[in-house]
């Protein structure tokens, strides 16, 4: 630990001041001017804790390693801090500890966002979620925000050589469309530094990507003084794990910059010719990046919230409180019922068509959600955790199961929201509010507005790399059971449509039964959404690492 030279009290790094600060005598000290040596503060920095000749070949520093007895998760502390709860499974217990050595990173980005600021950013994000559970907003939960330096692999790439691309220009001449093909030869001179991926299997890839990027330009050489008052996570993945993903992003960016060149702006480049661009990795380094981490444990589920300790970007799991949702829906029902009462009567055949549309939409949504749950439950979207599981299986002499590996995908698309669940749910909610008026208007107000706002931010088309999307399907039997409710109503509505009875009552009864199936399916959607936005408590190593 570091002690104040004036009063001898512990001093911690203050993100707001970017200095070591003593709360007792209000002394401020520059982090780069002190070291820990015999419990005294010296005026020059040396790597006293680092061992350049360690067995791993890397420099190491001495740290206290805290291990959770419930999940096996580990966090590191450089000072004499006592860990009283686990950041990963939310267990409130004193963690077992031991002194050990960990690989020292080459760089560290100091915290700039304070704990109070991270709490305010979190409150602001959660306040926009009208149906967020009450326990997520309690001060006692928010107080558990913990500053953790997360390990990241930092990649550098360069491309400095000729490249050959294919292009095509189209124009109309009379009744003909003429395609002109080009061979585009250019010299590419590009250099990329600081592409970062989290190096910890305990830090979920989805969360780390959600608060990216960090500004590597503010990184400084590793100094343990910046860790005073904070925790850290250990790097336990190989440096090559995310190399191809990083290279794909670099390749796409080079391609986009070539496409913007005035000489080829009118030419549509062939994306398949991107394979001719193969940036070379020049270096991979390890760095500590600042993350404020919060876990909320509610019964047998855990929700995570993370705040980028440098930029303030927030990502959080937000389930829906079913009771709040139903109360709001019932309140909105009254004015919508009055509105529909004043509108002209809908034709029976039109009502049947709308009911069928709702049934189809609900079945598509629940199947999509179930597929995502399958991916999450099997950790197919977390390469770090897969690496840890395979490494543990190999150490135990077992043949590790080969899970589907996420492959980088290059797509031309417009910027904006790409969440199929919320998009389809918003459209269904809007249509439902216009015809049935029970639940849909709430979904429309809360979901479709942000989607429209995001879509306006970027209308240009370019190559976008979706580098961690896994295509996997849940078992068909499970999805069939979820689709059974709206499917029964849809079959009944189709039967009435083909029979075409003379009396309108049959149409109305079929449409009502069909909509009942849709409404029941909406309840399944909420349940599935909560399953996606919460996680089972992780089990690192101890019980097979079956994080969901």
What are the φ/ψ torsions at residue 389 (nearest 5 degrees)?
-65, -45
Q: Which of 435, 427, 450, 409 has its CA nearest to residue 364? A: 427
First and final C-alpha spacing in the chain = 36
Q: Do 359 and 473 fall into the same domain? A: yes
* Whether residues 283 and 334 fall in one domain: no
- Where do the H-state alpha helices sit in 284-382? 322-342, 348-377
State the pLDDT at residue 289. Answer: 96
438 and 293 belong to one structural domain? no
- Mean pLDDT over 413-423 rounds to 39
What local confidence, expressed as pLDDT, does residue 344 receive? 65
* Domain identity same for 430 and 529: yes
Q: Are residues 236 and 341 in the same domain?
A: no
User: Which residue range forms the structural domain that includes residue 330?
Assistant: 322-405+412-533
**Residue 304's closest CA among 13, 15, 547?**
547
Length of the chain: 548
Q: In this structure, what DSSP letter does residue 264 have?
A: G
> What's residue 542's pLDDT?
52
Q: What is the pLDDT of residue 31?
A: 84
- Tell me whether the omega of the peptide bond preceding residue 434 falls within 30 degrees of 0, making it cis: no
Residue 69 in any domain: the answer is no
Please report the DSSP string for 23-73 in residue order.
Answer: TTT--EE-GGG--EETTEE-SS---TT--TT-TTSS-EEEEEEEE-TTT--
pLDDT value of residue 149:
95
Higher pLDDT, 467 or 345: 345
424 domain-assigned: yes
Task: Please tell me whether residues 359 and 286 are part of one structural domain.
Answer: no
CA distance 365 to 371: 10
CA 198 remoteness from chain centre: 12
Q: Tell me if 270 is assigned to some domain.
A: yes
CA-based nearest residue to 156, from 251, 327, 282: 282
The number of beta carbons lying within 10 Å of the beta carbon of residue 150 is: 26
Residue found by looking up tokens 């809360």 in the block = 446
d(CA 474, CA 478): 7
pLDDT band at 57 (very low <50, low <70, confident <90, very high): low
Q: Is the sign of the CA dihedral 435, 437, 439, 441 positive or negative? A: positive
- Region 460-484 average pLDDT: 69
Tokens of 150: 């997360």
Would residue 94 count as lying in a domain? no
Within 8 A by CB and 6+ apart from 249, the residues are 195, 465, 467
What's the mean pLDDT when you consider all of the chain?
A: 77
Number of helices (H) and strands (E) in the chain: give both, helices first.
Answer: 12, 19
Model confidence pLDDT, tens digit, residues 213-260? 999 989 999 988 898 889 999 998 998 899 988 888 888 888 888 888
Predicted confidence at residue 386, as pLDDT, reads 83
Tell me: pLDDT of 108 over 90: yes
Rounded mean pLDDT of 92-107? 86
- For residues 136 and 281, membership in a common domain is answered with yes
Inter-residue contact 360 to 518 (CB < 8 Å)? no
Cβ contact 508:349 at 8 Å: no
> Confidence band (pLDDT; 50, 70, 90) for 435?
very low
Nearest one of 528, 141, 522 to 325, comparing CA atoms: 522
Q: Among the ranges 15-19, 38-42, 413-417, which has the highest mean pLDDT value? A: 15-19
154 & 230 share domain:
yes
- pLDDT score for 306: 94
Q: At 445, is the pLDDT very low, low, confident or very high (cuts 50, 70, 90)? A: very low
Q: Which two tokens stand for residue 312?
A: 């303030």
Place of tokens 């890839």: 205
Lowest mean pLDDT among 157-166, 202-211, 464-473: 464-473
Q: What is the pLDDT of residue 8?
A: 76
Provide the domain count of the chain: 3
Domain closes at, from 297, 316, 335 = 316
Asked if pLDDT for residue 519 goes beyond 70, the answer is yes
**DSSP assignment letter at 196:** E
Residue 255: its pLDDT value, please? Answer: 84
Question: Domain check: are 346 and 495 in the same one?
Answer: yes
pLDDT tens across 361-410, in order? 888 888 888 888 888 888 787 888 888 878 877 777 655 454 444 444 43
Question: Is residue 455 scored above 70 in pLDDT?
Answer: no
Residue 393 lies in a domain: yes
Read off the DSSP letter of residue 380: T
Which has the minimum average pLDDT: 53-67, 93-107, 130-144, 160-174?
A: 53-67
Q: For the range 259-262, what are the long-range contacts, defined as Cβ-Cβ under 8 Å and sequence gap of 24 or more?
A: 259/462, 259/463, 261/186
Tokens representing 239 are 């440096």
Q: Is residue 45 part of a domain?
A: no
Q: Is the pLDDT of residue 356 over 70?
A: yes
Residues 283-342: pLDDT tens digits?
889 999 999 999 988 888 899 999 999 999 999 988 988 888 888 777 776 776 666 666
In this structure, the answer to whether residues 306 and 337 fall within a common structural domain is: no
User: Hey, is 386 helix, strand or coil?
Assistant: helix
Residues near 177 by beta carbon (within 8 Å), at least 6 away in sequence:
170, 171
Specify whether the CB–CB gap between 517 and 359 falls below 8 A.
Answer: yes
- Which pLDDT score is estimated for 148? 94
Q: For 341, phi and psi rounded to 5 degrees?
A: -65, -35
Return all residues near 344 (Cβ < 8 A) that are at least 6 apart. Answer: none
User: Which residues fall within 8 angstroms of residue 481, CB to CB, at 6 or more apart?
Assistant: none
Q: Is the domain of 137 the same as that of 205?
A: yes
Structure tokens at 397: 């002499």
- Name the burial class of residue 98, with classes exposed (0-12), middle (13-18) and buried (19+) by CB atoms within 10 angstroms of its CB: exposed
Q: Is 294 helix (H, G, I), strand (E, B) or coil?
A: strand
235 and 340 fall within a common domain: no
Comparing CA positions, the residue from 525, 211, 528 lying closest to residue 376 is 528
The single residue listed with the structure tokens 């070379």 is 280
Asked if the model's pLDDT at residue 140 lies above 90, the reply is no
541 assigned to some structural domain:
no
Query: In this structure, is residue 103 part of a structural domain?
Result: no
Read off the pLDDT of each residue in 273-280 and give the average, rounded to a whole number: 77
């Amino acid at each position: 630990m570091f002690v104040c030279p004036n009063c001898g009290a512990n001093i911690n790094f203050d993100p707001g001041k970017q200095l070591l600060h003593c709360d007792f005598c209000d002394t401020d000290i520059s982090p780069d001017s002190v070291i820990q040596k015999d419990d005294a503060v010296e005026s020059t920095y040396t790597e006293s804790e680092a061992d350049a000749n360690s067995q791993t070949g890397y420099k190491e520093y001495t740290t206290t390693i805290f291990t959770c007895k419930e999940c096996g998760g580990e966090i590191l502390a450089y000072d004499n801090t006592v860990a009283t709860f686990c950041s990963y499974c939310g267990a409130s217990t004193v963690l077992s500890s031991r002194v050990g050595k960990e690989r020292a990173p080459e760089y560290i980005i100091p915290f700039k966002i304070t704990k109070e600021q991270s709490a305010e950013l979190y409150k602001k994000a959660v306040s926009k979620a009208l149906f967020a559970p009450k326990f997520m907003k309690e001060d006692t939960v928010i107080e558990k925000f913990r500053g953790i330096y997360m390990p990241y692999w930092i990649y550098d790439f360069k491309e400095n050589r000729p490249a050959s691309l294919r292009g095509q220009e189209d124009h109309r001449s009379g009744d003909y469309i003429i395609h002109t093909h080009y061979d585009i030869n250019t010299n590419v001179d590009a250099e990329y530094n600081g592409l970062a991926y989290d190096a910890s299997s305990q830090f979920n890839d989805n969360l780390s990507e959600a608060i990216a990027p960090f500004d590597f330009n503010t990184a400084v050489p590793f100094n343990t003084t910046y860790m005073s008052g904070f925790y850290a996570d250990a790097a336990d993945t190989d440096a090559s794990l995310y190399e191809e993903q990083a290279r794909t992003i670099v390749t796409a960016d080079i391609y986009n910059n070539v496409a913007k060149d005035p000489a080829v702006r009118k030419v549509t480049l062939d994306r398949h010719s991107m394979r001719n661009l193969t940036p070379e990795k020049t270096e991979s380094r390890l760095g500590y990046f600042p993350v404020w981490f919060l876990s909320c444990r509610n019964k047998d589920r855990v929700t995570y919230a993370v705040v980028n300790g440098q930029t303030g970007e927030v990502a959080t799991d937000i389930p829906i409180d079913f009771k709040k949702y139903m109360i709001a829906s019932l309140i909105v029902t009254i004015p919508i019922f009055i509105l529909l009462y004043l509108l002209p009567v809908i034709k029976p055949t039109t009502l049947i068509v709308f009911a069928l549309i709702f049934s189809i939409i609900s079945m598509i949504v629940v199947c999509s959600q179930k597929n995502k749950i399958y991916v999450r439950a099997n950790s197919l979207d977390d390469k770090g955790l897969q690496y840890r599981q395979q490494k543990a299986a190999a150490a135990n002499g077992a043949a590790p199961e080969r899970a589907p590996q996420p492959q980088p995908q290059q797509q031309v698309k417009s910027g904006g929201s790409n969440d199929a669940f919320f998009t389809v749910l918003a459209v269904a909610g809007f249509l439902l509010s216009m015809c049935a008026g029970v639940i849909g208007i709430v979904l429309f107000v809360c979901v479709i507005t942000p989607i429209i706002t995001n879509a306006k931010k970027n209308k240009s088309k370019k190559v976008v790399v979706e580098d961690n999307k896994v295509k996997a399907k849940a078992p068909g039997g499970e999805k069939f059971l979820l689709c059974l409710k709206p499917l029964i109503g849809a079959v009944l509505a189709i039967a009435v449509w083909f029979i075409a009875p003379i009396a309108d009552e049959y149409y109305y009864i079929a449409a009502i039964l069909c909509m009942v199936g849709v409404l029941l399916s909406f309840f399944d959607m909420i349940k599935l959404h909560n399953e996606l936005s919460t996680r089972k408590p992780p089990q690192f190593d101890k019980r097979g690492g079956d994080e969901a």
